[in-house]
Amino acid sequence: MTGRTERGARASDYPALRDLLLSTWPNPNDELGIWDYLVASDPTLEPENVRLVCLGDRPVAATTLVMRQVRTRQGWTSGAELTLVCCHPDHRRKGYGGATVRGALAHLARRGGALAVFYGVPEFYPRFGCVPVLPGFRTELAVAPEPGPAPSTAADRSSPGLGETGLRDATEADLSGISRLHDERISIYPASVARSAAPWMWRVRNPEGHALWTLPDGRGYAHVAFNREGASLDVQEAAAADGLTARRLLAGLTGEARRRGFDKVHLFLAPDNLVARLARLDGAWQRYRPAAAGFVAITRWEPHLPPGYRVVEDARCDLFYRSEPGGPERRVLRAGRGPLTELLMGYLDIDDLLLRQEGTVAAAPSETLPPGTVLTAEGDLDQLRADFPKLLPKYTMAPYYFWF
């Protein structure tokens, strides 16, 4: 009988680990491809950041942490993307997969990381303290067809060459400028993941389906996917240095959509992104999708808190506030981990939490509320409104963004 152990991986586990990933994702274009690419390219990948459950010495479940700087409402902090969560098909529903997720979050906390971000199965992750806080935003702009015959074949639609739309494929020489635009315009929201100008982070892996385009003067760029089933040009990332550039970029994107026979452009951008705002002024619809699969797990509270606050976590979380050093401290909020994470990540504000009718405003926070509820005192509402305004949490994947 082989014993079960939980541990970090060693480099010598990598062949068996790859077999495990292969058992779950046989297609090398899926997660297996991410693993191979990370091993080959990511200098920060350390074996011990892959948490395993082994039977004997054989890994049967794994979760990988890709250590990154991640944004909180207070600024950049150490965190991770949690990814490649899998259990061998012969060993599922025995708690192994879950144990590696728990082990990864504990490992991240020991390393001083403040949060993990990821997209995952909505039913699986809440049990580990992961909270859906990453909503979806989609701006939908209709594209009038080009006069004359539209391209009719798939080959025409996927034609990699660019037309006279003012855009061109980005090259390595463009990456420092693109990366700067990314830092200034894209990775500014809570849950954004830092990306450098290193070419491996920007590589477009399947160019039949994706492209990284730039304006020739480098003042705007877009990462796009050709959504042939939905007949849309899906813009997954776009940034422009100013309004006039945003106009040129949007004109280029709609021109490329039209030229390829797509009848709409979908912008998966924050609603305050200049390109999305312009599209809205041009008549686009905007859709908001509440968070479901986009998760954050907070592993340390302090980097999420404005000065003067601290969290004490027990069965419930208590948020304390002290207006000046050495002054009296008072409890301003008592909440479950879920609502507190929603508040700190800027997904909901205190009024949303109360509106959801799971909260109470009372003179003194009591001990008797069931988990998940929110309790604050009338006098603290304005303080919480001022210090925890609603934000736009948005995950900017690095480097996975360019994979699927």
Q: List interacting residues with ligand COA (CB under 6 A).
A: 24, 61, 85-87, 92-98, 120-121, 123-124
Give the residue with the Cβ less far from ligand COA, 59 or 346. Answer: 59
Q: How far is the CB of 199 from ligand COA (least distance, A)?
A: 28
Q: Do residues 292 and 132 make contact, with C-beta atoms less than 8 angstroms apart?
A: yes
Give the residue with the Cβ less far from ligand COA, 24 or 139. Answer: 24
Q: Do residues 100 and 6 make contact, with C-beta atoms less than 8 angstroms apart?
A: yes
Q: How far is the CB of 24 from ligand COA (least distance, A)?
A: 5
Q: How far is the CB of 97 from ligand COA (least distance, A)?
A: 2
Give the residue with the Cβ less far from ligand COA, 31 or 342. Answer: 31
**12 vs 16: CA distance, rounded Å:** 8
Q: How far is the CB of 28 from ligand COA (least distance, A)?
A: 16
Give the residue with the Cβ less far from ligand COA, 104 or 181. Answer: 104
Place of tokens 């199965």: 121
Q: How far is the CB of 364 from ligand COA (least distance, A)?
A: 37
- Residue 327 neighbours by CB under 8 Å, 6+ apart: none
Cis check for the bond before 216: say yes or no (omega within 30 of 0). no
**54 vs 205: CA distance, rounded Å:** 32
Give the residue with the Cβ less far from ligand COA, 14 or 128. Answer: 128
Strands (E), 107-261: 115-119, 131-132, 136-142, 168-169, 210-214, 220-227, 232-240
Tell me the residue number closest to ligand COA, measured at CB. Answer: 97
Q: How far is the CB of 161 from ligand COA (least distance, A)?
A: 36
Q: How far is the CB of 95 from ligand COA (least distance, A)?
A: 4
Give the residue with the Cβ less far from ligand COA, 85 or 225. Answer: 85
Please tell me the number of Cα atoms within 13 Å of 357 on its side-chain side: 0
**152 vs 136: CA distance, rounded Å:** 32
**80 vs 109: CA distance, rounded Å:** 10
Share of the chain residues as helix, strand and coil, in percent rounded to the nearest 5: 30, 30, 40
Please tell me the number of Cα atoms within 13 Å of 23 on its side-chain side: 18
Give the residue with the Cβ less far from ligand COA, 98 or 129. Answer: 98
